[in-house]
Amino acid sequence: MQIQKVSASGVILPFRLGTYLVNVFSGLVFFLLLVYAFRMDTITVVVDGAQLKLVTTAPTVETALAKAKIPVRPGDEVTPGLAARVRDGMEIQMRRGVKFFIDVDGKAIETRMPPVTVGEALQRIGIGLGEADRLSVPMDAQVWEGLRLSVARVTTDTLTVEAKITPPVAYVNDPNLDKGKQRVASAGETGVLAREYQVVFEDGKEVSRKLIGERVVKPAVNKVIARGIRPVIHTKTVAGGRMIRYTDVLTMEATAYEPGPQSCGIYADGYTYTGKKATYGIAAVDPKVIPLGTKLYIEGYGFAAAEDIGSAIKKNRIDVCYDTEREAFLWGRKKVKVYILAP
């Protein structure tokens, strides 16, 4: 539509209404933008619990913090985000990040983040935990500046270890081998024992081992040693120039007795335990040391036969018989050598 307008000189000028309206609208928009650009918003910034009121014309949170000279460092957490538009009355929460380290899988990871729990920190970084993994700090503890958090990877394995079973030794008597000598009749065989252990590793290193079972893979076979029992006959010249043949010699404590009541008590009948007549040449012994019936040569006494016993004659004791109390008394108590005569 065109509208005519009369000038002051009387000339009629054309007037376009559309152009006029566009210009009016553009001016209005510019005015509104100008008003918006210079509007004043009141906001609250909370930094680690400390509140700060700000009046700002900044359009975004990032700009508002920058104008207020509040630095945002790596690891700091700002809510709402830095790109959010500022609104009057809004509250901006800011948590300062702390620098800490995580030792895991052979690496030392340096990171910054707000003081969240250890569990959340590991989740943010993307570090997963196995059921048995061990932390140097509890999961629900908050991280702090300078913390050195260690993650130990714990694994369990079953280990089988084979061990040798030493053959037991069995002894047999060998009448064809001299007494005091021995020989290996059978070497036997070493057995095998398998032991199962539950082994715990931390970061690949063994920290504990527990025996959980064992089984015999191969039983051991006895080693057999033959011991000689054949008497070895020795010879010796004794008092009177006589030569004796003996198989053994013992050093014993010797006493003497006479077969009457004075030495043997009121019930003495003059006979030995084996039924022989008690007289010179009879000796009382401990049968566990010298079997009854054994022929002997006793140093300082002479030839004797082990035919009697006594309640006090135990172990390395011997009691020689004399026919009279005086002879027994003169013998006294002494150490002597007793020769076991060969058959």
pLDDT in tens, the chain (343 residues): 444 444 445 544 454 555 655 565 565 555 445 445 556 889 999 998 889 998 999 999 999 999 999 999 999 999 999 999 999 999 999 999 999 999 999 999 999 999 999 999 999 999 999 999 999 999 999 999 999 999 999 999 999 999 999 999 999 999 999 988 999 999 999 999 999 999 999 999 999 999 999 999 999 999 999 999 888 899 999 988 999 999 999 999 999 999 887 777 676 788 999 999 999 999 999 999 999 999 999 999 999 999 999 889 999 999 999 999 999 999 999 999 999 999 8
Separation of alpha carbons 257 and 274, rounded Å: 17
- The total of other beta-carbon atoms located within 10 Å of residue 16's CB is 11
pLDDT, residue 18, reads 59
User: What does the CA dihedral 73, 78, 82, 85 come to, rounded to 10 degrees?
Assistant: -150
Question: Do 1 and 21 contact (CB within 8 A), yes or no?
Answer: no
C-alpha of 299 from chain center: 63
> CA neighbours within 13 Å on the CB side: how many for 193?
11
Q: Which of 38, 45, 124, 39 is nearest to 54 (CA)?
A: 45
Query: Distance between CA 12 and CA 97 in Å, rounded?
Result: 74
309 Cβ neighbours under 8 A, 6+ residues apart: 273, 284, 285, 286, 287, 292
Q: Which residue is it, tokens 């958090």?
A: 149
> Exposure pattern of 261-284 as b/e (b: 16+ CB <10 Å)?
eebbeeeeeeebeeeeebeebbbb
pTM of the model: 0.50
Q: What share of the chain is helix, strand, coil (3-state, %, to 5)?
A: 15, 50, 35
- With 0-12 / 13-18 / 19 or more C-beta atoms within 10 angstroms meaning exposed / middle / buried, residue 317 is middle
What confidence score (pLDDT) does residue 261 get?
A: 76
**Alpha-carbon torsion, ordered 299, 305, 307, 312, to 10 deg:** 0
Amino acid (one-letter) located at 230: R
